[in-house]
Amino acid sequence: MSDFSWLYDWPAHIPNLLPGLWTAIVITVIACSVGYVLGFFLALMTEAPLRAVRYTAVVIVEVGRGLPILVLMYIAYQGLPQVGVLLDPMPSAIAALTYSAAAYSTEMIRAGLASVPRGQFEAAAAVSLSRADTYRFIIVPQAARISIPPLVNLTITIFQATSLATVITVSEIMHHAYLSGSINFQYMSVYVAAAVLYLSITLPGAILTGYLEKNLGSPTKNARRTSIRKRVTTKTPAGV
């Protein structure tokens, strides 16, 4: 018995799901903003002179990327209480996704930092800029042009992954959708409404990523970036 009423009645379910959308956005914003800062420091650690520091960073990152996010969520919510860390559902989800965001962003940020020519560090050193100022004013702004498009993309992925938090009883979109569906049995309508809400964020996000990939910085900036890189790579530094 086919029923295609969902084709037109899904919008009626949107209001029920909106609180869940808000929750998903809050989780994403916190997880990504904290996660990317951690990712920045992990990226610096992967280049540290001390081997122990580098290895620590690599282990943290590879574990974070190797484990499914669902596993991280169960560990945060149900595993950690056993070692005395008791988190509510929402903080558990945020913790799991923050770790994931940090681990995945590390390589994107590292690639951005590595794209800045060595001469930029030397020029900053030659005018006595402190290390912190060198990163803040010289290196990070240039690295951002490389790192931001993949980070926007990762943010979209993390937003989608908030749906997994339903299994640890966070009332995000899918949690509301499942509850509505189990009351009125219009699962198709409810899930289409949920899908529309996810797409309302992810599609603009994808368009934004594409736009940033093409247009970060003016054409003249792009031209000079390649010219500077060429100059640095073709010349062996300091007659070595």
Rule CB under 8 A: say whether 81 interacts with other proteins: no
- Residue 41's closest CA among 24, 23, 29, 53? 53
**Of the candidate residues 129, 201, 212, 216, the single one contacting other proteins (CB under 8 A):** 129
Residue 140: CB atoms within 10 A of its CB come to: 16
- Residues with Cβ < 8 Å from 191, sequence gap 6 or more? 177, 181
- Torsions phi, psi of 100, nearest 5? -65, -45
For residues 216-235, which are near other proteins according to CB under 8 A? 217, 220-221, 223-225, 227-228, 231-232, 235
Rule CB under 8 A: say whether 26 interacts with other proteins: no
Rule CB under 8 A: say whether 240 interacts with other proteins: yes
Q: Does residue 186 contact residue 6 with C-beta atoms inside 8 Å?
A: yes
Task: Please say which residue, 24 or 113, places its beta carbon nearer to other proteins.
Answer: 113
Rule CB under 8 A: say whether 114 interacts with other proteins: no
- Residues with Cβ < 8 Å from 75, sequence gap 6 or more? 96
Chain centroid to Cα 145, Å, comes to 16
Task: Please say which residue, 125 or 207, places its beta carbon nearer to other proteins.
Answer: 125
Rule CB under 8 A: say whether 208 interacts with other proteins: no
Contact residues for other proteins (CB under 8 A)? Answer: 117, 119-120, 122-130, 133, 137-138, 141-142, 217, 220-221, 223-225, 227-228, 231-232, 235, 237-240
